[in-house]
Amino acid sequence: MPTLDDLKLSLRLDGDADDQLLTGYLNTAKSYITQAVGTESDSFYDDVSVVDLFNTAVLALASAYYNYRSSLVPTTAISIDLPVDSIIGQLRGLYDMKMEAITDDQSN
């Protein structure tokens, strides 16, 4: 999982004034993505073919939480298709393939 320093680097933040907030956003993003994809296999998220996708999704979502933290803005809201949505779709496909392989191995 990305670290606080990874998130701060991606946001180009110095200092530690928002560290507690950013840590919460990282944990929330990780939870959101794992629940959207699947929680039965923790080792899935450490797989070499998955780790970069997962880390990118966590950083993108945590960054969005930080950059758009106010739900009320004085301008018109425009819906943005976050890159997280497409990455979650890819992760779901990979997760389903892994779960299917595990099921096949157990039935043999």
Instruction: Output 80 or 96, whichever has higher pLDDT.
Output: 96
C-beta of residue 22 within 8 angstroms of C-beta of residue 62: yes
Domain that holds residue 22: 4-107
Q: Which of 80, 83, 20, 34 is nearest to 56 (CA)?
A: 83
Note the pTM of the prediction, 2 decimals.
Answer: 0.82
Give the confidence band of 103 by pLDDT, cuts at 50, 70, 90.
confident
What average pLDDT does the segment 68-74 reach? 70
Q: Which amino acid is at 3?
A: T
Average pLDDT value over all residues in the chain: 88
Which CATH number does the domain housing residue 9 bear?
Answer: 1.10.3230
Q: Which of 58, 12, 18 is nearest to 34 (CA)?
A: 58
The encoded tokens of residue 22 equal 């950013």
User: How many domains does one find in the chain?
Assistant: 1
If phi > 0 it is left, if psi is from -120 to 50 it is alpha, else beta; for residue 12 that is left
